[in-house]
Structure 1
């Protein structure tokens, strides 16, 4: 038997397979969504703003009495097979007959993980975490150091393993965090960075697995929808564009990304639209400053502008601009500003953008 608890803070289209059990995290401080909640019995639900989905993991550890294999996934992230199909109970049990634990496929940073973490979070928290491990679990400390200097990492605390190993992991993890709580001060952190224990835990799974020499099956992860915060971000920017408030939209773009850098990650921005939105806002503001109607005359709907930018990029990449391209440039009143920005930022053109820009200016 296997039970995969699906952590959520919102309503979602839950899988029909009964192996997946929705669990609302942070229910102590939020509206009851009608799912099983993490706020009964022995609970840390009220600490969800600091722990994220870990409050659900804690609840399962302390309150769920079943001895089945235990799994953790998210409302929009599920383990899938090579055919992109959701894993079923029989799949989990077959895999766990050969491996100790199922995780997401490993990802690799371009720098050691310690530097990678420091780019978006408070590095002193990670360092203090290491100190706690050194004191509480000294045999694991060399592995902690090794993993932090490596580039491999997992994401999202996604896993499926035996009940025995799940309990052992939780006992280890929360012993570290309950001590770490006493040592770090998050009172000045914004809402995003307050989820410090959720962020710190992602790499600790790799530390624990490595230190115990567990055999690992790294599974594909299917993402069913964009992150809710990413959707809200795009809607907010789109509304300002619709109102013609380009400068305000651009200011909001950077203000939000400063406090919520996660919304632009590959697993959040599934359509990879945020870099295009940034370019659209830049073009529109430059055009506005130069009194050029340009993109905002073409449309004030962000989805339309996103497709328009993609079309322009595809056409401008062509070596020869044929009638279809020239007609599109004319009908959409494509400005010199838009062309220069697109060409300068198009990775496919590399060093060739200046020649293409000169060609554009001579097109008439």
Structure 2
């Protein structure tokens, strides 16, 4: 089976040499130079696309492009700084390769990054301490009762799959993306983001992250988790302080 993992990026960045990976420039429709794509890259503004929505959908414009335009049997999405890595080591030589992917898909149809656990925060409280509550609340209203039951269950948990990172068979992706984008496009019409700051205007990408586990639970989907790495240094002291500040003062 043919597999392709799309690497979402909004700028020039070093990419894996493995042909499994396809760099995709997100938000390319608003690029100041439409011919600035490096060799081997594609833009998310070709074919059936939502490139114009990148400022509010984040890397989901790349997922939409892959869903609508890729002919691969297995489709994945990672970020230019965040990759699956079975040995959990940084470096592009350590990212998930074609053989490892094939082994994972011998008995699975969905691969996800390991969950992030907040321990002292539920998924719902973590979201509303970091973002406007309006969108995540409205998203629930747009779901049928089965999905609302899963929403309530997932939002009470303290762990979740994040980053809109995933690898799925085309069939599984079609089922998930059809449902998720339907919710997000309806949500666009329901909330007014004109008073949101630039960061909060990325709301549909943030909500999209939270929809994945709801979809999995509602449809009793089986999956396997894989380690992932962030290729750059992270200031964990700052991230921890920000986490506590939001919980206490947001």
Shorter-normalised TM range: 0.7 to 0.9
User: Could you say which residue in structure 2 is the equivalent of 1:81?
Assistant: 86
Q: Indicate if the aligned counterparts of 1:100 and 1:214 stay in contact, CA closer than 8 A.
A: no
Distance 2:218 2:109 in 1: 13
> Normalized per residue, which structure has more strand?
2
TM, length-normalised to structure 2: 0.87
Q: Indicate if the aligned counterparts of 2:88 and 2:228 stay in contact, CA closer than 8 A.
A: no
Which of these residues, 42, 45, 49, is aligned with residue 55 of structure 2?
A: 49
Structure 1: gaps (5+ residues): 227-269, 279-364
Structure 2: gaps (5+ residues): 243-250
* Number of residue pairs the alignment of both structures matches: 231
Query: Rg larger in 1 or in 2?
Result: 1
1:70-109 alignment runs, 5 A limit: 70-82=75-87, 84=89, 85-109=94-118
1:195-210 alignment runs, 5 A limit: 195-210=202-217
Q: CA deviation at 1:274?
A: 4.0
> Normalized per residue, which structure has more helix?
1
User: Could you say which residue in structure 1 is the equivalent of 2:222?
Assistant: 215
Q: CA deviation at 1:120?
A: 0.8
Q: Deviations over 1:58-93 (max 9, x none)?
A: 1111122x1320000000001001363211112112
1:3 aligns with 2:4: yes
Which of these residues, 122, 125, 137, is aligned with residue 132 of structure 2?
A: 122
| 1:195 partner SS | helix
Structure 1 stretches (4+) deviating beyond 3 angstroms? 271-275
Determine which structure has greater relative contact order: mean sequence separation of CA pairs < 8 Å that are 6+ residues apart, divided by chain length: 2
Distance 2:16 2:74 in 1: 18
Q: CA deviation at 1:100?
A: 2.5
1:334-349 alignment runs, 5 A limit: none
1:182 aligns with 2:189: yes
How big is the alpha-carbon RMSD for the aligned residues of Structure 1 and Structure 2? 1.9
